[in-house]
Structure 1
Amino acid sequence: MSDAWLGPVDLYVIGLPSARPDPAALTALLELVDSELLRLLDLVLVTTDDHGQHTITELAAVPDQATFGIDARALQAAGLIGEDDVVELATVVPAGSAALIVAVELAYQRRLAARTVESGATLLGYERIPAPVVNALIDSLALDPEGLA
């Protein structure tokens, strides 16, 4: 058994349609958590006023957490998103809007990560190609996206 208890962790910045979070904005995320493909580790709300000043709120401090459809006690690693991460990621949140910064474990990759460590192998590199980049490439190559499914 490996000492690795987490697979890869991704941080997502999810722009919200308004400063007031709507559970619909998290529907897809929560469906993946329910399916156990993802584990929700941490969540931070960032609001940016009209002057570009950020307010950062941990989920546990959000009044009426039911607004998110998530209970702070369900977070597997609350506090994992560090202050430096939040400050850096908050720069993409436009003035007068809000976003959620979400840390998720790619649970389906946990076994691969554990087996890699157990075998003595070392992951030497990892690169993620963002979906918009891949989709633009598919479009530019005139490939049929239905054929990729």
Structure 2
Amino acid sequence: MVEFAYGPVEVLLLTFDGDRPGPALSGALRDLIEEKTITLLDLIFVSRNLDGDLRTIEVDDLPDKAQLPDLDLRELGLAGLDDVEELAVRLEPGASAAILVVELTWARHFASVLAASGGSVLYQERIPAPVVNAVLEAAR
């Protein structure tokens, strides 16, 4: 059986208050990485000014790495300019966001075994946590 170098990958567009994520969000991301739940492959910050102009900042271009020191970004540049522009369409004027490309490290071995057995993922859908929690709360 061939072990995959990477498991499934997700691209996330995360908005937050202000022009950068706070230390709590940075810490939570670092925890996921240290627990080997995810591997951070690429990270790009984007903002849209009130006139609608888009600004893109790569992590390497940040003087203080936006409070994210010692991140081992495995595949810088994986999210290309086209990807960034496509995602940033969702960003409102005056808002900031981070584009994260993350490997679901926890699923790497499972994906290898699934492929070796001739299987594949036929369908996948992610339901955002606020939706899940709201539905479950309403059902109580």
TM > 0.5 fold call: yes
1:24-63 aligned within 5 A: 24-63=24-63
Deviation at 1:3, TM superposition (A): 5.4
Residues 109-133 of structure 1: per-residue CA shift (max 9 Å, x gap): 1111010011122222212222122
Separation in 1, partners of 2:33, 2:50: 33
Structure 1, unaligned runs of 5 or more:
143-149
The residue type paired with residue 52 of structure 2 is G
Farther off after superposition, 15-24 or 95-104: 15-24
The residue type paired with residue 2 of structure 2 is S
- Contact between 1:16 and 1:25, CA under 8 Å: does it hold in 2? no
The residue type paired with residue 30 of structure 2 is L
Separation in 2, partners of 1:26, 1:14: 12
Distance 1:102 1:115, change over 3 A: same
* One of 90, 93, 106 as aligned partner of 2:91: 93
1:96-107 aligned within 5 A: 96-107=94-105
Give the share of equivalent positions with the same residue, in percent: 37
1:104-143 aligned within 5 A: 104-142=102-140
Structure 2, unaligned runs of 5 or more:
none
Separation in 1, partners of 2:99, 2:123: 25
**Which residue in 1 is equivalent to 2:22?**
22
The DSSP-based 3-state class of the residue aligned with 2:136 is: helix
- Contact between 1:11 and 1:104, CA under 8 Å: does it hold in 2? yes
Aligned length: 140
